[in-house]
Structure 1
């Protein structure tokens, strides 16, 4: 082989090596470009397209806030309703507690006429002394005939009536203080009437009935008058016959 032939062969081999190297470099660039494109499209598996769009646009925080409101809204309303119900229940329970507390004391109702029985006390010292003049007294007993405890206190109304009912005497009241008395079923209390009895045949008043109206009531109980005649002081400013309070 001549020297010129050897030179041409060497040049051809270098050319082929350079071409191969160029192809290899081009292939590497192609692979690198494809790899970069795939990396751009990769997203975490737990992200949806909507979430990715929201994150990329900066709307995620706004959506999150709305979602929080949407979740908290009904819950807040429910909590508000629950709080209101709890508050109402507590208030009701508190008023109930107060009512129960009052029930132990002031919750006892007053004694009504329908639950009372009235009678004159006629035993022993209860009988007025006919010779004592205006210093004697008579007692009227009030008994709780009902099935519930009740309270009574104050001045009863007492009207004396004649036989035919034509003459009526509403007795004055004393200035004595009083308090309330609790009567259980079957219990009794009384009040006194100061009397100015007389045996004179003039200036007297003969009662036939005593009409008793319990304190704070409008219905009366009528009793037959068991005693003698009274000094007629129906028009007197300070009569000697007057009513004392219960309690």
Structure 2
């Protein structure tokens, strides 16, 4: 029995020495301390990365667009006028239609306006000239114009009488009817296509505050 008790005592001493070697001076397990520090750094890096990602997304969204936030120009917010711009000696007549932003805030015009001439023979829709049409951000109080080109009636005949001008702003369905400012008549055609063309925004000048 004495031999067995001494063996147990020796094993207990050896186990105690092993635990002391694995612990720090204050008895706290070093492995636990290392694990906690590593976990904190990982959490901090993860939080930092998440914060940067969220900030980048927000920055991109807000920076994408002052211009993108501008609503389209509504017919009711535009002051629409027309004037004759034909120059003596030109082979064709021209008129300018001007949109002035009276809505009190910036608005966007993108594409071509719709243009119809009211004539003694019925409505005549203008065709697009095919020029590139860049979006326009129209600030409050500023104007932009586009051109209507049409053939002059030099045939000597009475021609087709023009009685009015119908204009629809781009991407709108509400139209306005204006007095026609150009020549009184168009030459008679065989009806195979429109002889009137409309240019994009800015085709009658760059516009500007007025």
What is the TM-score with the length of structure 2 in the denominator?
Answer: 0.62
Matched, 1:177 2:128: no
Residue 185 of structure 1, CA deviation: 0.9
Q: Provide the aligned C-alpha RMSD in A.
A: 4.4
> In 2, Cα distance between the equivalents of 1:111 and 1:175?
22
Q: Give ranges in structure 1 of 5+ residues lacking alignment.
A: 1-39, 41-51
Query: Cα distance 1:185–1:206, how it changes in 2: closer, same or farther (>3 A)?
Result: same
Matched, 1:230 2:174: no
In the alignment, what sits opposite 2:200? Answer: 245
In the alignment, what sits opposite 2:73? Answer: 111
Matched, 1:99 2:55: no
Query: Cα distance 1:192–1:96, how it changes in 2: closer, same or farther (>3 A)?
Result: same
> In 2, Cα distance between the equivalents of 1:92 and 1:233?
63
> In 1, Cα distance between the equivalents of 2:91 and 2:161?
14
Write the deviation string for residues 188-228 of structure 1: whole angstroms up to 9, x where unpaired.
110111122438655414333x2222223333333233441
Query: Cα distance 1:221–1:234, how it changes in 2: closer, same or farther (>3 A)?
Result: farther
> In 1, Cα distance between the equivalents of 2:190 and 2:60?
48
In the alignment, what sits opposite 1:17? Answer: none
Matched, 1:219 2:174: yes
In the alignment, what sits opposite 1:204? Answer: 160
Residues 1-247 of structure 1: pairs in structure 2 closer than 5 A: 68=32, 79=43, 83=46, 87-104=49-66, 106-121=68-83, 126-128=84-86, 135-162=92-119, 167-198=122-153, 202-208=158-164, 210-227=165-182, 228-233=184-189, 235-237=191-193, 239=195, 241-247=196-202
More strand by share: 2
More helix by share: 1
Residue 102 of structure 1, CA deviation: 2.4
Q: Give ranges in structure 2 of 5+ residues lacking alignment.
A: 1-8, 10-15, 24-28, 203-210
> In 1, Cα distance between the equivalents of 2:59 and 2:139?
24
Q: Which protein has the larger Cα radius of gyration, Structure 1 or Structure 2?
A: 1
Number of aligned positions between the proteins: 184
Residue 144 of structure 1, CA deviation: 0.9
> In 2, Cα distance between the equivalents of 1:221 and 1:202?
27
Query: Cα distance 1:204–1:87, how it changes in 2: closer, same or farther (>3 A)?
Result: same
